[in-house]
Amino acid sequence: MKSITFIVILFVSILMLVFSKMDYELHTSWDVDFENYLIENLQKATESIDAFVYKFKSDTIYDVLKQKGKDGVYFRLICDVNEAWNEEQYCQKFAKYGEVVSFETKNFDKLHAKGILIDKELLLIGSNNLDKSSINDNMEILAAINDTSIAKTFEDNFNTVFDAMK
């Protein structure tokens, strides 16, 4: 039931984007190189990156985010305990640049949500993981939304989950 509710909310949100006048871009991996698109947007970060992460195994994206951390960007990551929270994945390596928690709860089997909030303004949300399959092999969808109201809603939801996982 919870997954159906999430899908309905996502669908309604996408419809709202399509029919609103807010600043957004909607892409599929058919029309844009996801790795370059993600990197281009991640490089815009100057203050913070908050992210829900299911899988994180991209050397290129890791290198970009690592440099952002060295530049002073503060990270808060919520990483799936089964997929992104192991030695082969990169989540735990960001603890030195902020706070990283594992998503582990009795209420859900996994953290399948994917969203990145950059500087509390730009929201990247979609189906893609931060791994080679999502970047090179799968058909994915990604919305880049530059709207303070939606960014605030995402941040509030992120904070609720983040605080619960501490």
Residue 25: pLDDT over 60 = yes
**Percentage of residues in the chain having pLDDT higher than 90:** 65
What whole-number distance in Å separates Cα of residue 139 and Cα of residue 92?
Answer: 27
Where residue 28 sits, what CATH number does that domain have?
Answer: 3.30.870.10
Q: Is 17 among the domain residues?
A: no
- What are the backbone angles phi and psi of residue 139, rounded to the nearest 5°? -85, 115
Residue range(s) defining the domain that contains residue 75: 22-165
Q: Is 54 among the domain residues?
A: yes
Tell me whether residue 80 is exposed, middle or buried, using C-beta atoms within 10 angstroms of its C-beta: 0 to 12, 13 to 18, 19 or more: buried
Q: Report pLDDT digits (tens) over 85-97.
A: 877 888 988 888 9
33-38: average pLDDT:
92
Q: Is 15 among the domain residues?
A: no
pLDDT of the residue at 49 = 97
Residue 19: pLDDT over 90 = no
Q: Is 69 among the domain residues?
A: yes
User: Would the pTM count as exceeding 0.75?
Assistant: yes
Number of domains in the chain: 1
pLDDT band at 21 (very low <50, low <70, confident <90, very high): low
pLDDT band at 70 (very low <50, low <70, confident <90, very high): very high
With both helix axes pointing from N to C terminus, report the angle between 59-70 and 34-42 in degrees, rounded to the nearest 10: 0
Q: Is 28 among the domain residues?
A: yes
Q: Is 1 among the domain residues?
A: no
Instruction: Say if CB 75 and CB 49 are below 8 A apart.
Output: yes
